[in-house]
Amino acid sequence: MRSLVDRYGRVVRDLRISVTPRCNYKCFYCDPLGEGFNDPTGTVTVQEVAWVLEAGAGLGMNSVRFTGGEPLLRKELPEMIEHARRVVGIEDVALTTNASLLKRRLPELLEAGLNRVNISLDAIDPDAFKRATKGGTIRQVWQGIEAVAEAGLTPVKLNAVIVRGINDGEIIALARLTKHHPFHFRFIEYMHLNNADHNTYKEHFMPGREIRALIEESLGSLEPLETDPAAPARLFKIPGWQGAIGFINPVSEPFCGTCSRMRLTSDAKLRPCLLTDRELDLRPALQAADPVAAIQESFLIAAHRKVASGVTTPTQRPRTMVAIGG
């Protein structure tokens, strides 16, 4: 089996596939213009996703995460998960979701073979949550979190993008969730992927070290846990607490040197790096006589286009996060 290796020697093992640009939330950092409510055009089909999965597995990719937009808005998601696990044999099949529809859809996802779930949870106070998501209902999310925990998909990973002035007042309450629950709660730095003007971005950006300092000042010292070097989160634990607290700091502490990821956008663009705008149109490969082989060649080209380090400073981008895929 061939491996997918970029020109810096990094092995690409993780594939993130956005299955829809649609989302039922309009979070400030992801979808500032409400583009996720638009009718999607040119979204990848189930067959096209199947070819991409087969091509990726043939190049040694052994981890797939389905994202969006909100992937649970895609009714065919279980078919894609089943193809990844049962047909292609990918070991680790995960989902990133806002969990608003998770309780209802979880049984069919589990039957299809889903391994893991990452849930976005930017606040727990109902009013703060509504502000952060521009209309979301926290009760639905909690129901989804509880359903995942009951199903035994552990550890349950919860993520919050901290934006100063919007949800920074929720940091301590979010961290406290790990006291009585074995959750992994990860705090993520706000990246400039929503094209806010430079002053607005700088005003709202909160570095991970400041978030950690607030937690330690309020809750006590954090002890480091052993972490996979290729994983983006650095994990810690408050002694005696059940869960773990993590920090993902792509802006202040870039981890590009261990990047093992590649993304497929919902409109069939291969994106070698989240923080650069390089994309490779996969449509010609999807329309080839032997699409799997053609997609593999596109993967090899895209891997060669991975950069040593993404652009973490404020930069105007042609697409915001909801269009790129998480």
What tokens appear for 214 in the block?
A: 């607030």
Residues 6+ apart with CB under 8 A from 276: 307, 310, 311
In whole angstroms, give the CA distance from residue 306 to residue 294. 19
What average pLDDT does the chain have? 92
Cα dihedral 167, 275, 53, 17 sign: positive
Judge contact between 192 and 262, C-beta under 8 A: no
The pLDDT tens digits of the residues spanning 11-24 come to: 999 999 999 999 99
In whole angstroms, give the CA distance from residue 123 to residue 120. 9
Confidence tier at 257 by pLDDT (50, 70, 90)? confident
Whether residue 34 has pLDDT greater than 80 = no
Residues 6+ apart with CB under 8 A from 30: 23, 36, 161, 193, 194, 320, 321, 322, 326
Query: What's the confidence (pLDDT) of residue 82?
Result: 98
Confidence tier at 195 by pLDDT (50, 70, 90)? confident
Confidence tier at 31 by pLDDT (50, 70, 90)? confident
Query: What's the confidence (pLDDT) of residue 325?
Result: 78
Confidence tier at 1 by pLDDT (50, 70, 90)? low
Confidence tier at 278 by pLDDT (50, 70, 90)? confident
Average the pLDDT over 135-164 and give the result: 95
Confidence tier at 256 by pLDDT (50, 70, 90)? confident
What tokens appear for 74 in the block?
A: 């895609």
Strand 234-237 relative to strand 116-120, pairing = unpaired
Query: What's the confidence (pLDDT) of residue 308?
Result: 83
Smallest CA-to-CA distance from 119 within 129, 111, 127 is with 129
In whole angstroms, give the CA distance from residue 202 to residue 30. 16
Average the pLDDT over 241-251 and give the result: 95
Smallest CA-to-CA distance from 113 within 147, 79, 141 is with 79
Query: What's the confidence (pLDDT) of residue 318?
Result: 65
SS3 14: strand
Confidence tier at 302 by pLDDT (50, 70, 90)? very high
Whether residue 314 has pLDDT greater than 90 = no
The pLDDT tens digits of the residues spanning 39-69 come to: 667 899 999 999 999 999 999 999 999 999 9
Judge contact between 215 and 172, C-beta under 8 A: yes
Average the pLDDT over 187-198 and give the result: 84
Percentage with pLDDT > 70 across the chain: 96
Strand 280-281 relative to strand 116-120, pairing = unpaired
Name the strand (E) or helix (H) holding 63.
strand 63-67
In one-letter notation, the amino acid at residue 252 is: S
Average the pLDDT over 237-242 and give the result: 96
Judge contact between 23 and 269, C-beta under 8 A: no
In whole angstroms, give the CA distance from residue 274 to residue 231. 15
Judge contact between 24 and 98, C-beta under 8 A: yes
Query: What's the confidence (pLDDT) of residue 194?
Result: 74
Domains and CATH numbers, the chain: 14-324 (3.20.20.70)
Whether residue 36 has pLDDT greater than 70 = no
Confidence tier at 199 by pLDDT (50, 70, 90)? confident
